Structure 1
């Protein structure tokens, strides 16, 4: 079987270990950087040269364009270009989550952060607020704002940035990271990027069995967004989980068994149409 990984980081531990498992089982694994010349959407492979499956780890515009082109040629892409693109837009994620009843912070969308200085700020939310770039990417904006002065300072630096404003979720100070690969849930805990208590413990608590309600939310998130490989960040608000971030094909580091799960997903047959029986 031929597996192609679309990424600019072939040495990432998850990808490298999954590739090793696949090649050890006599499958062929190649890496393709969509942002390099050979991965340009203007130079697609011939239908006879298609891999059996493409793992879409890269999230750039060129990567998404290449993934859509490959899908148009009949290739299997994991995650799909549509699901990956959806996860790059925090405004769309919030709308889909609200429609599906997923527990997420209230979210408002602005075409530019500067609009918040001219009456566009959701007054009913109060402070603190979370301000995030609408479009998720490396080096994007994620910041807590505690009042009008902080908002003005942030807008001076990010004036034209399309953003979402979210209610701040008071939490335990720990960010619960749930990673899902083809329905298998892996968990980790990190100090919350925003909202961790000052002077709190630097090391994460041991992972024990998560409440079933938490894993159900993680699995339902993937079903709602059409994802096979993804991460869900959950904060504990008085014992109840709140989804604060969703990532398509994140960099999963540490959980035992994750590379093997990814290799197994790559080898999984493409689902047939409704009513189809192999």
Structure 2
């Protein structure tokens, strides 16, 4: 399906390389992409029949929306921003990824639970509000010879990660959870590196199909590109692609960046995280595959076209 003059809202909290790539891909299909910050959108039931104000779209709704980023804020602010996405979907606008999928992926505990429920290999994970119970868990895991990774529930780019439990032969207790963790312990058993330097894979899934992958290599135990990891090309081996596709399907994501790590034992590949607002600049550097064009093509050909077919039926 061509864009045919469609107007697409690119929801992003900042403009730059990613938004320019998406706009160019939309232009190549005859569509217009307009960048909008969800913080600037508002609910106004006097403004139009639908009750939304999307800057740049007047009294009309966009023909589709592509979510590139949602700015952080207070609980109330983020709830309103997600509410705009929920409302667009309810009003028949294809939202890619929609608010429900983003909520599942941005909450690491929900991601872990859904991966586990789908029977996918993922490290043992806990989300505990009681500091006492969390500290007891860390002590039990440490006594069993395990290190745990403490992560902010809503964190990204490898920020705020800490090792606790048995680390380099010594017990490391759980820190205070007030600053940066929202008084919640989200803990994932660390998968030991099988080689030096260590690495994991980032696999991009678009429309249910794994389309590109890279290895993220680092001498540090955190393998995020934002923390200095090197991006290397990686072949999409069948087992790697299948696991990434199953992880994206478990969270019902239109597109996803799936982080997979090699592991010892019976499950040689394990899913660490699934990102529903995935950046792909590092991946694009090591693959000739045009990622922005793939995202736009899937949005137009699968989501927008399907919506048009339903309206004609």
- The two structures have a TM-score, normalised by structure 1, of 0.83
1:231 aligns to what SS in structure 2? Answer: strand
Output one character per residue of 1:94-131: Cα deviation in whole Å (capped at 9) or x when no partner. Answer: 111111011100011111556523x3547256431111
Q: Give, in whole Å, the separation in 1 of the partners of 2:25 and 2:181.
A: 47
- Could you say which residue in structure 1 is the equivalent of 2:42? 40
Q: Which residue of 1 aligns with 2:275?
A: 247
CA distance in 2, matches of 1:96, 1:15: 30
* 2:199 paired residue number: 174
Segments of structure 2 that go 5 or more residues without pairing to the other structure are: 1-5, 45-50, 73-77
CA contact (8 A) 1:6 1:31 kept: yes
Aligned partner of 2:9 in structure 1 is 4
- The reply to whether residue 230 of structure 1 matches residue 256 of structure 2 is yes
Match of 2:237 among 193, 201, 211: 211
2: distance between equivalents of 1:52 and 1:24?
Answer: 17
Q: Secondary structure at the match of 1:94?
A: helix
Q: Over aligned residues, Cα RMSD in angstroms?
A: 3.3
Distance 1:129 1:231 in 2: 23
Deviation, 1:221, is 1.2
Change (3 A) 1:193 1:54: farther
Q: 1:22 aligns to what?
A: 26
> 1:58 aligns to what?
69
Residue of structure 2 in register with 1:221 after alignment:
247
Contiguous gaps of at least 5 residues in structure 1 = none
CA shift in 2, pair 1:45/1:159, >3 Å: closer
Residues 138 and 164, structure 2, Cα contact 8 Å, conserved in 1: no
Cα 1:44–1:204 change in 2 (3 A) is: same
Match of 2:89 among 44, 64, 71: 71
Counterpart of 1:165?
187
Equivalent residues of 1:175, 1:190 under 8 A apart: yes
Given that residues 150 and 187 in structure 2 are in contact (C-alpha distance below 8 angstroms), is that contact kept between their aligned partners in structure 1?
A: yes
Query: What is the CA distance between 1:163 and its match in structure 2?
Result: 2.4
Quote the residue 1:116 is aligned against. 134
**What is the alpha-carbon distance in structure 1 between the residues aligned to residue 120 and residue 15 of structure 2?**
33
- Give the match for residue 164 of structure 2: 145
Shifted more, 136-145 versus 229-238: the winner is 136-145
Cα contact 1:10–1:31 (8 A) shared by 2: yes
Contact 1:174/1:192 (<8 A) preserved? yes
Quick check: 2:65–2:94 contact (8 Å CA) kept in 1?
yes
* Corresponding residue pairs, total: 270
Shift of 1:142: 1.8
1:88 matched to 2:114: no
Name the SS of the counterpart of 1:83 in structure 2: helix
Which structure has the higher relative contact order (CA within 8 Å, separation 6+)?
Answer: 1
User: 1:159: how far off?
Assistant: 7.2
Deviation at 1:161, TM superposition (A): 2.7
**Contact conserved, 1:113 with 1:159, CA < 8 A, in 2?**
no
